[in-house]
Amino acid sequence: MKIFLALITKELIGFFRSWGLVAVVLYSFTLDIYIAGAGIEMQAKNISVGYVDETGGGMSQKILSRLHMPEFQKPVMFNSREALSRSIYNRETMVGIIFESDFEKNLQKYKRAEINLLLDSISATQSFQALQYLQNILLEYADLKYPVKLKIHKLFNPNATTSQFMAMAEMLSVITLLGVILTAAVFVREKENGTWEIMLLTPVNPKLIILAKSFSQVIIVMAGVVMATGIVLFGAFDVPINGSLFAFFLLSFFYAFTSAGIGLFVAAVSKSMLQVAQLSILIMMPLIFLSGAWTPIHAMHPLLQDLSLISPLRYYIEGSESIFFRGTSFVDLWSYFAGVILLGSVLYFYGFRKIGRLF
């Protein structure tokens, strides 16, 4: 045990001595998560609108005045359809509205009229949402007296802020990234420098060395998790915590071990840091994208759905989401814990064996 602690201390000192690495890890657990959370916005917001008004104003201006923040920017007037269309082709305007000259007349005479809409639909989802916003605005304008009332509740994330969700997803990706790369680097660096042999000459069980080395990186990652949760998730984004925080840290701990296990495997098969870099990304990318952070699993291609069952990150993300947003009780989290622990021990054990065999 004493040797174990000494080995961990050695690794931690080594980590803190490399200030560049400390800075990068600090950055990933704070600013990087903040930028992702604050920047990635998938809801259509602040949409640029241009219009050509061939009527004399009046009704058309009344409708335009209903387009406002946060959904729409202030509509910009264009003098001709060509100018409007040029702006859309240059992707400076996303929504182009054309009021034809008989618009107002139709509205007064027949109580109904049509506007022409040019929509840059390259960003399909955003364009679709923009269309929905516009339709809602026009329906409101028509002041239909519907015979039913609709009361819509959004559960778990009532204000539907993408930022909270993205910040959380980015934190989980950072944990994966650093868990894998840091662990792999610790071993490969010794391989590259040839200091492994010296370690093996010491009267310490190699298994203990491997365990202590990977454990030290788990500690670094966990410190980062605590920091990121406190400063970025709670501090900057006010992420709600409806479940038990302890459960989240416990789950993160198991997950950190899982990623360390992947790191061990990467370290065992690579000879240089270049290989570590490329292999880690090669393994991590599918892990992150099969996790359901970007697209819910049940909306994926069926083959990818099956594959996602073996991604430990999937269980981790679903578990964390349940803890933060859904407030699932500890007992009901067992499936996520089981998923992470099961895949984690398999990966860790495999990595452990693989790197142990080298000596």
Partner 1 sequence: MNSGVIAAYILKEFKELLRSRMIAIVYILPTMIIILFGYGIRMEVTHARTLIIDNDRSKISQDLTVRFQNSKYFDTKVVTGITLKEALESIKRAKTDILIIIPDRFEKELLKREKPEIAVFVDGAFPVRASTMENYVKGVIFDAASTILKEKPKNLVTINNRNLFNQPMRDEDAIVPGLIGLILLVAPAILSALLIVKEKEEGTIFNFYSSAVSRGEFILAKIVPVFILHSINIFILFLWATWLFEVPFRGSFTLYWLSSELYILTSIGIGLLVSVITRSQIVAIVLTIIITIIPGFLYSGMLMPISSMSGESKIEAHIYPVMYYNHIIYDTFLIGQGLDSPKNRLYLVILLFYALFMLLLGSRLVKKETG
Q: For partner 1, which residue of 7, 177, 228, 313 counts as binding (CB under 8 A)? A: 177
Round to whole Å and give the CA distance between 32 and 25. Answer: 10
Which of 155, 177, 141 has its CA nearest to residue 59?
141
| Residue 203 within binding range of partner 1, rule CB under 8 A | no
Q: Where does this chain touch partner 1 (CB under 8 A) — which range of 2-10, 44-52, 197-205, 213-221? A: 44-52
Q: Where does this chain touch partner 1 (CB under 8 A) — which range of 196-204, 222-230, 231-239, 325-333? A: 325-333
| Residue 211 within binding range of partner 1, rule CB under 8 A | no
| Residue 310 within binding range of partner 1, rule CB under 8 A | no
Choice between 141 and 349, CB closer to partner 1: 141
Residues 242-271 that bind partner 1 (CB under 8 A): 271
Contact (CB, 8 A) for 314 and 297: yes
Name the minimum Å distance from CB 132 to partner 1.
5
Structure tokens belonging to residue 48: 């640029």
Q: For partner 1, which residue of 4, 10, 41, 204 counts as binding (CB under 8 A)? A: 41
> Which residues touch 130 (CB under 8 Å, ≥6 apart)?
44, 47, 71, 94, 95, 119
Across the beta sheet with 76-77, the strand order is 76-77, 49-53, 95-99
Residues 49-68 that bind partner 1 (CB under 8 A): 59, 63
| Residue 92 within binding range of partner 1, rule CB under 8 A | yes
Round to whole Å and give the CA distance between 304 and 301. Answer: 5
Round to whole Å and give the CA distance between 90 and 118. Answer: 13
Residue with tokens 């990304």: 281
Q: Where does this chain touch partner 1 (CB under 8 A) — which range of 149-157, 228-236, 258-266, 339-347? A: 149-157
Residues 127-146 that bind partner 1 (CB under 8 A): 127-129, 131-132, 134-136, 138-139, 141-146
Name the minimum Å distance from CB 222 to partner 1.
17
Which of 281, 270, 178, 269 has its CA nearest to residue 221?
178
- How many Cβ atoms are within 10 Å of 343's Cβ, its own excluded? 22
Name the minimum Å distance from CB 38 to partner 1.
8
> Which residues touch 272 (CB under 8 Å, ≥6 apart)?
188, 192
| Residue 218 within binding range of partner 1, rule CB under 8 A | no
